[in-house]
Chain A
Amino acid sequence: MAKKIFKEIDEIQERDDDALDILKRRLVVVAVIVMIFTSLIIARLWYLQVNRGGDYKELAFNNRVRIRQVAAPRGHVVDRNGKEIVTNRPSFNVVLIREDSHDIDDVLKRLAGVLHVDISELWKRIREATGTPLYIPVVLKEDITWDTLAYLENHNQEFSGIRIEVVPVRVFHYGDLASHIIGYLGIINKKELSEADPEKYTGEDLIGKMGLEKLRENDLRGKKGSSSTEVNARGFEQKLLKSDEPISGKEIRLTLDVDLQQIAEGMMDQEEKSGAVVAMEVKTGRVLVAASAPKIHLDDFTGGISTENWNALLENQKHPLLNKVVQGIYPPGSTYKMVTVLAGLATGAITESTVFNCPGHYQFGNRVYMCWKHTGHGAVDLRRAITESCDVYFYQVGQRVGVDGLAEYAHKLGLGEKTGVEMEHEKKGLVPTRQWKLKQYKQKWQDGETLSIAIGQGFDLVTPMQVALMTATVANGGKVFLPQLVDSVRDTDGGIVDQFHPKLIRELPGVGRYLSLIREGLTGVVNGEHGTAKNARIEGLTVAGKTGTAQVVKLAQYKGLKDENIPYKYRDHAWFTCFAPAEDPEIAVTVLVEHGLHGGTGAAPIAKAILQKYFEARLQAFAKEKEEKKVKAVPGIRP
Chain B
Amino acid sequence: MFRIDRRLFANFDWVLLLLLLLICGMAYFSLYSATYPPKPWGMPLYLKQCYLLLIGFAGFLFLISFDYQELLSWNYPMYGLIIILLIVAFYMGKSAGGAQRWINLGFMKLQPSEPAKLMLVITLASYYTRNEVIDGYSLKDIGIPILLTIVPFVLIMLQPDLGAALMLGVSFVSMTVFVKLRLSTYGILSGMAAIVGAFGWIRVLKPYQKQRIETFFNPETDPMGHGYQILQSKIAVGSGEMFGKGYMKGTQGHLHFLPERHTDFAFSVWGEEWGFAGSVFFLAIYFFMLLWGLNVAISARDRFGMLLAYGIVMLIFWQAVINLMMILGFLPVVGIPLPLFSYGGSSLLTTLFGMGILMNVRMRRFQTSSAKE
Chain A interface residues toward B at CB < 8 A: 15-16, 19-20, 22-24, 26-28, 30-31, 34-35, 37-38, 41-42, 44-46, 48-50, 52-57, 59-61, 63-64, 102, 230-234, 238
Residues of B within 8 A of A46 (CB): 276
* Inter-chain contact A37/B310, CB cutoff 8 Å: no
Q: How far is the CB of A35 from the nearest CB of chain B, in Å?
A: 7
- Assuming the A-B contacts A20-B303, A27-B310, A34-B317, are A53 and B132 also in contact, with contact meaning beta carbons closer than 8 angstroms in the complex? no
**13 residue pairs from A and B, CB less than 8 Å apart:** A19-B134, A20-B302, A23-B306, A24-B298, A44-B328, A49-B242, A49-B271, A50-B276, A56-B241, A60-B252, A64-B251, A231-B255, A232-B256
* Inter-chain contact B291/A35, CB cutoff 8 Å: yes
Q: Which of B296-311 contact A (CB under 8 A)?
A: 297-298, 302-303, 306, 310
* Inter-chain contact A64/B257, CB cutoff 8 Å: yes
- Contact of B290 with A by CB under 8 A: yes
- Contact of B354 with A by CB under 8 A: no
* Inter-chain contact A45/B280, CB cutoff 8 Å: yes
- Contact of B366 with A by CB under 8 A: no
Residues of A within 8 A of B235 (CB): 56, 59-60, 63
Cα distance A167–B246 when bound, in Å? 39
* Inter-chain contact A38/B256, CB cutoff 8 Å: no
Residues of A within 8 A of B298 (CB): 24, 27-28
* Inter-chain contact A49/B255, CB cutoff 8 Å: no
- Contact of B240 with A by CB under 8 A: yes
* Inter-chain contact B328/A48, CB cutoff 8 Å: yes
- Contact of B217 with A by CB under 8 A: no
Measured CB to CB, the nearest residue on chain B to A56 is B238
Cα distance A53–B243 when bound, in Å? 11
- Contact of B294 with A by CB under 8 A: yes
* Inter-chain contact A53/B321, CB cutoff 8 Å: no
Residues of A within 8 A of B239 (CB): 53, 56-57, 59-61
- Contact of B279 with A by CB under 8 A: yes
Return the contact of A41 from the options B252, B257, B283, B290 (Cβ within 8 A).
B283
Chain B interface residues toward A at CB < 8 A: 132, 134, 178-179, 224, 232, 234-242, 251-252, 255-257, 271-272, 275-276, 279-280, 283, 287, 290-291, 294, 297-298, 302-303, 306, 310, 314, 317, 321, 324-325, 328-330
Cα distance A53–B239 when bound, in Å? 5
* Inter-chain contact A45/B276, CB cutoff 8 Å: yes
Residues of A within 8 A of B303 (CB): 16, 19-20, 23
* Inter-chain contact A34/B241, CB cutoff 8 Å: no
* Inter-chain contact A63/B238, CB cutoff 8 Å: no
- Assuming the A-B contacts A38-B287, A232-B256, are A57 and B238 also in contact, with contact meaning beta carbons closer than 8 angstroms in the complex? yes
Residues of B within 8 A of A26 (CB): 178
Q: How far is the CB of A37 from the nearest CB of chain B, in Å?
A: 5
- Assuming the A-B contacts A45-B328, A56-B235, are A19 and B132 also in contact, with contact meaning beta carbons closer than 8 angstroms in the complex? yes
* Inter-chain contact A34/B328, CB cutoff 8 Å: no
* Inter-chain contact A53/B242, CB cutoff 8 Å: yes
Cα distance A323–B234 when bound, in Å? 59
Q: How far is the CB of A558 from the nearest CB of chain B, in Å?
A: 71
Given A27-B294, A34-B287, A63-B251, 8 more contacts at CB 8 Å? A20-B306, A23-B303, A27-B297, A35-B291, A50-B241, A53-B239, A102-B224, A230-B255
Cα distance A26–B314 when bound, in Å? 13
* Inter-chain contact B276/A49, CB cutoff 8 Å: yes
Residues of B within 8 A of A22 (CB): 134
Q: How far is the CB of B231 from the nearest CB of chain A, in Å?
A: 8
* Inter-chain contact B255/A54, CB cutoff 8 Å: no
* Inter-chain contact B283/A49, CB cutoff 8 Å: no
Q: How far is the CB of B40 from the nearest CB of chain A, in Å?
A: 17
Return the contact of B279 from the options A28, A49, A238 (Cβ within 8 A).
A49
* Inter-chain contact A34/B242, CB cutoff 8 Å: no
Cα distance A259–B222 when bound, in Å? 62
* Inter-chain contact A234/B294, CB cutoff 8 Å: no
Residues of A within 8 A of B132 (CB): 19
Residues of A within 8 A of B134 (CB): 15, 19, 22
Q: How far is the CB of B320 from the nearest CB of chain A, in Å?
A: 9
* Inter-chain contact A56/B294, CB cutoff 8 Å: no
* Inter-chain contact B178/A49, CB cutoff 8 Å: no
Q: How far is the CB of A72 from the nearest CB of chain B, in Å?
A: 30
* Inter-chain contact B283/A38, CB cutoff 8 Å: yes
Return the contact of B294 from the options A30, A37, A57 (Cβ within 8 A).
A30
Cα distance A476–B105 when bound, in Å? 103
Residues of A within 8 A of B232 (CB): 63, 233
Most chain B CB inside 10 Å of its own CB: which residue of A23, A54, A231: A23
Q: How far is the CB of A56 from the nearest CB of chain B, in Å?
A: 3
Cα distance A15–B133 when bound, in Å? 12
* Inter-chain contact A48/B257, CB cutoff 8 Å: no
Measured CB to CB, the nearest residue on chain A to B240 is A49
* Inter-chain contact A234/B251, CB cutoff 8 Å: no
Q: How far is the CB of B347 from the nearest CB of chain A, in Å?
A: 20
Most chain B CB inside 10 Å of its own CB: which residue of A24, A38, A49, A63: A49
* Inter-chain contact B255/A56, CB cutoff 8 Å: no
Residues of A within 8 A of B310 (CB): 27, 30
* Inter-chain contact A63/B252, CB cutoff 8 Å: yes
Residues of A within 8 A of B272 (CB): 60
Residues of B within 8 A of A233 (CB): 232, 255-257
Residues of A within 8 A of B271 (CB): 45, 49
* Inter-chain contact A41/B324, CB cutoff 8 Å: yes
* Inter-chain contact B291/A49, CB cutoff 8 Å: no
Residues of B within 8 A of A45 (CB): 237, 271, 276, 279-280, 283, 328
- Assuming the A-B contacts A49-B237, A56-B234, A59-B239, are A41 and B255 also in contact, with contact meaning beta carbons closer than 8 angstroms in the complex? no
* Inter-chain contact B241/A57, CB cutoff 8 Å: yes
Residues of B within 8 A of A50 (CB): 241-242, 276
* Inter-chain contact B240/A53, CB cutoff 8 Å: yes
* Inter-chain contact A49/B251, CB cutoff 8 Å: no
* Inter-chain contact B255/A48, CB cutoff 8 Å: no
Cα distance A19–B276 when bound, in Å? 42
- For the complex of A and B, the 7 pairs showing the least CB-CB separation, nearest first, are A56-B238, A53-B241, A60-B239, A233-B256, A49-B276, A232-B255, A48-B238
Measured CB to CB, the nearest residue on chain B to A101 is B224
Residues of B within 8 A of A234 (CB): 256
Residues of B within 8 A of A238 (CB): 255
Measured CB to CB, the nearest residue on chain A to B254 is A232
Residues of A within 8 A of B237 (CB): 45, 48-49, 56
Q: How far is the CB of A335 from the nearest CB of chain B, in Å?
A: 69
Cα distance A20–B309 when bound, in Å? 13
Residues of B within 8 A of A57 (CB): 238-239, 241
Cα distance A227–B1 when bound, in Å? 70
- Assuming the A-B contacts A30-B178, A45-B237, A55-B238, are A37 and B283 also in contact, with contact meaning beta carbons closer than 8 angstroms in the complex? no
Measured CB to CB, the nearest residue on chain A to B286 is A38
Residues of A within 8 A of B178 (CB): 23, 26, 30
Cα distance A50–B243 when bound, in Å? 10
Q: How far is the CB of A336 from the nearest CB of chain B, in Å?
A: 71
Cα distance A38–B284 when bound, in Å? 8
Residues of B within 8 A of A64 (CB): 251-252, 255, 257
- Assuming the A-B contacts A20-B303, A59-B239, A232-B256, are A49 and B321 also in contact, with contact meaning beta carbons closer than 8 angstroms in the complex? no
Residues of B within 8 A of A53 (CB): 238-242, 276
Cα distance A232–B37 when bound, in Å? 14
Measured CB to CB, the nearest residue on chain B to A31 is B294
Residues of B within 8 A of A44 (CB): 325, 328, 330
Measured CB to CB, the nearest residue on chain A to B250 is A60
Q: How far is the CB of B260 from the nearest CB of chain A, in Å?
A: 12
Cα distance A238–B254 when bound, in Å? 11
